[in-house]
Structure 1
Amino acid sequence: PATVTIPPLPACRSDFNQEYTLSNNGADTLVIDSIAHGNAIRITAPLPIILPPSTSIKIPMKITVRGTGMIREDIAFIEKTCQWRFRGSVTGLRTAPKIFTALPVDLGTKLSCDSVTDRIVVVGFNNPTSFPMEFTNVYAQSTQNTVRIDKAPFIVPPGGDRSVVIVLNSSITQGALTDTLLLPFESDACEGLFKVPVVLRVSSVTVNQPKALSFDTLKSNVKPITKSLPITATLAGAPQTIVQYVEITEPFTTSMKPGLVLPHNRATSVNVTLDPQGIMVDGPVRGTLRYQLDSCAVPYEVQLNANVVVVGVDEEQGAGSARISVSDDGIVVSDAPGRVDVYDLRGQMIASGTSELGYIRFGGLATGCYLVTVHDEATSRMKTAITCIVR
């Protein structure tokens, strides 16, 4: 043929075999001793080629495609004596896969963890060829890293884009490491190789925090108590670290959330709150605040403790014996052993006082319903009632 068409080639092959027919219609024997071509291809064939008069010969050629994209290269079979040129061409589209992830893959600065911790490398491939690409293994050139493909084998289909997840473990404890990951693949019975450079920086961290946070002894009828917990992260090789995971034992709650930034060598305060009003049994209350930094698997812990005294209502003495009634323009509390608080139904305190002789009156109240709370400081008892003023 005058023109050779490049066939579809897998990602790992750039050459193909082709027979080319030459004919000698003249009266002299032709000796072809060289083949000329452009830079985008390379041709190898058995030389010299001897063509007697009035004969044809099929020449086996191996054509290697060096470029990508649309290829059109002239070829010339050159006769030895007269330098005659018998011309043809090689044309076609040569596609090649590529990595569309920005290289080198920068894993950022990670903490040196107390345990082996997975680092995740994501590499995206584009495969414009007509053949699938299959990856089964990955290798690290550095002996300080071990790697594996998550959910191998990993296949990039023809004409498709896919991202492979590589799990990396590193033994370095501080500093920077540049490595190259080797990703061999198979496609249409041939083998190819991708090289992926990665950069990993490791920072050491020391966390300074209280080992325990105590709420001491508190009564079950008090409002939620909040305490501040200072945390200082001292890092070598990084300006900050990030909280990735938080859990806390109920009934304790915390303001610490995933995403909290702990700057280098500067205290960060988080709140821990205990609401004792839902606790029904006297005694110690214990819990733990756990959190993880970066992607480290080992959590940091703070032990939480309190001693709760459950306050009940005594119906026969103290606060329980107080009588709450309505007067012409307010509320009267008789036999009150201590402080009396009056709230509207939105929870806002509108009056408060302490009886001296067991009697207290709150006048000038508008029509409506009120929550009255009677406290007995001596017995830690409390009585509450809803009272309505109707005119």
Structure 2
Amino acid sequence: MPITEQALLAALASVRDPHTGQDFVSTRAVRNVQVEGGDVAFDVELGYPAKSLIPQLRSEFIAAARALPGVDNVSVNVTTRVIAHAVQRGIQLLPGVKNIIAVASGKGGVGKSTTAVNLALALSAEGARVGLLDADIYGPSMPTMTRTSGKPESLDGKLMEPKHAMGLQINSIGFLVDDAQAMIWRGPMASQALEQLIMQTRWDDLDYLVVDMPPGTGDIQLTMAQKVPLTGAVIVTTPQDIALIDARKGITMFQKVSVPILGLVENMAVHVCSNCGHAEHIFGAEGGKRMAAELGMDYLGALPLTLSIREHADSGQPTVAAEPEGDIAALYRDIARKVAVKVAQQSKDFSAKFPTITISKKT
């Protein structure tokens, strides 16, 4: 019997997305199906970057197609297309940026900045175009963590050109002030500086802009939540009760301004002794996991408390860049894919589909 497109799609429906559990046929990710005798060809378009998963997915699609009687040759092309998703009502998207992800915590010292830079690097490693904005006006750390420095250039006298390092586009208040200078600014000044940093940078066709937020829920955080088009927020905490109390406040703030919570990362979850291998939960066990379940949000994963993560960040080569094939980098990449999948599941941005209406005396 000749192979039909319907029969082929039914066979391909056995392949499931490892992150969502859904098949790629019902979600319309399988496209451009062609059947010529025993030769079949089709495309699979993912809505999130997953470079490390593509070889396995291709193998599964080929195996599923060949399980259909009569199929001789299979050609499958797996690609990624990241689109812009909806943001807070009444806020326009940022030119050159499809999605903005805020990485936040209610408390300092939980490893938020380290998580943010490694998340950005992991998204880039998975095939996305990624930017990194250091929104911590009072304590910028991205110049050190990315080994970047110097005043930003401006080609037109209006917009700043981002720095480039490790495949990322980067901007930070740290590029504009001396390292030893204290930012003795009141809230409104700091908020205005943040708006200028994010709005007056020439971001170049970014799939994701990762924003390293300062700790707390003050003026800067409210500026980000109310004036910057956020696709969603990632909350970073440790398992410790004190950190969880403050993380909950950050979650509440984003919820009040209708910014989706993409999930929670539990940092410093366990320490494994480098000498004897003994595992110890220094800050408590699975506090973040329990809170995520209680609040009905995604638990993105747990990261260990290790010396190497700190050393890599301090040296300007964060773990995902320093040891891309290592176990910890794999954890960051898994978290990054989960974040990207969560973004892909958000409502699409339809603002570009509305026409511009011009009113004049002649109309």
Compute the TM-score of the two structures, normalised by the length of structure 2. 0.20
More strand per residue:
1
State the structure with bigger RCO (CA 8 A, min sep 6), 1 or 2. Answer: 2
Structure 1 or 2, whichever has the larger Rg, is 1
Higher helix share: 2
